[in-house]
Amino acid sequence: MKIIDGKKIAQNLRKDIAQQVKTLERAPGLAVILVGDDPASAVYVRNKDNACKEVGFYSEKINKPAGITQQQLLDEVVRLNNDDRIDGILVQLPLPKHLDANLVIETISPQKDVDGFHSENIGKLMQNKSYLRPCTPKGVMTMLATTGIDLAGKDCVVVGASNIVGRPMLMELLNARATVTICNSKTQDLSGKLRRADVVVAAVGAPQIIQGDWIKPGAVVIDVGINRLENGKLVGDVDFDAAAEQASWITPVPGGVGPMTIATLLENTLTAYKNRK
Ligand code: NAP
């Protein structure tokens, strides 16, 4: 069994981006909007801001009060759409309940939608024509590429069907010409499906629900899940120790998909910069 070292792959990607930034006319710019004071979201936004600075990007961290109106938030997005220093706009989710996240995402210019959530970018992913692809699934594809395994013809099972992870992951794997099964909370015989999978991508958000003996010997296991146990320990959706005995390659939690998501956000911002040029 080999570990897919997300931390290392992300570090290499960031180094490569930093090198490229040195050759550009101006620094690519990323604006991150945080609404309210949710502590977890604040940490994510701070990490993104630090990652931007590390690679030499121009970064704007915009904090708005939880009571901001829908129109004020949309106005802020439009201002950033028209700001030439800004190549990428990201609105940290979740938003307070009175705000329509979908409307906010649809207001971001598709050329600056570095999260890849705008319907135009999702539509392009469906057609295998996209350039701004959702960060977590795209980061998973970068990780899979490091194994050297050709995904064409492989049986892949994605567990979880959210708009931000599971669904775009399905399309990424299909675009790589894999045969893909996607599961949700109503799926029957999940273990039976996983036992036939060459590649498993777990994105549920339930600690260690995927058991080791559900993994086919030699399968590749990607664990997107991040779950904090009562004792404070972070675990994925997969029972790592037991699955590692079966898998040929496996991602750890932490240090797997997590660091790749931020590195891929930087990659998308650089892509958006180049496309705007
Ligand atoms: P989400 O929006 O809550 O979606 C969870 C999905 O899992 C839903 O489609 C749900 O099915 C499905 N599901 C729930 N129980 C299931 C079960 N027993 N069997 C099969 N499917 C089941 O979650 P998300 O935003 O995609 O996030 C998933 C996990 O990934 C979370 O732990 C999150 O923290 C983590 N995450 C990590 C990163 C990273 O950078 N590493 C990025 C994003 C998310 P239904 O559709 O039927 O409800």
Please report, in tens digits, the pLDDT of each residue of the chain (277 residues total).
999 999 999 999 999 999 999 999 999 999 999 999 999 999 999 999 999 999 999 999 999 999 999 999 999 999 999 999 999 999 999 999 999 999 999 999 999 999 999 999 999 999 999 889 999 999 999 999 999 999 999 999 999 999 999 999 999 999 999 999 999 999 999 999 999 999 999 999 999 999 999 999 999 999 999 999 999 999 999 999 999 999 999 999 999 999 999 999 999 999 999 999 8
Which residues belong to the active site?
48, 92, 115
Q: Answer whether 186 contacts ligand 1 (Cβ < 6 A).
A: yes
Alpha carbon 70 to its chain's center: 26
Distance between first and last Cα of the chain: 44
Residue 134: DSSP 8-state: -
Nearest atom within ligand 1 for CA of residue 166: 26
The C-alpha torsion from 165 through 170 and 173 to 177, rounded to 10°, is -170
Contacts of 123 (CB under 8 A, 6+ apart): none
Measured CA to CA, the distance from residue 88 to residue 86 in angstroms comes to: 6
Distance 18 CA to ligand 1 centre (A): 32
Q: Bridge partners of 234?
A: 228
Q: Are 241 and 219 contacting, i.e. CB atoms less than 8 angstroms apart?
A: no
In testing the pocket of ligand 1, which one of 189, 191, 204, 265 has its CB within 8 Å of the most ligand atoms?
204
Q: Answer whether 262 contacts ligand 1 (Cβ < 6 A).
A: no
* pTM > 0.95: yes or no: yes
In testing the pocket of ligand 1, which one of 44, 185, 201 has its CB within 8 Å of the most ligand atoms?
185
**Which of helix, strand or coil describes residue 136?**
helix
- The H or E element containing residue 21 is helix 6-22
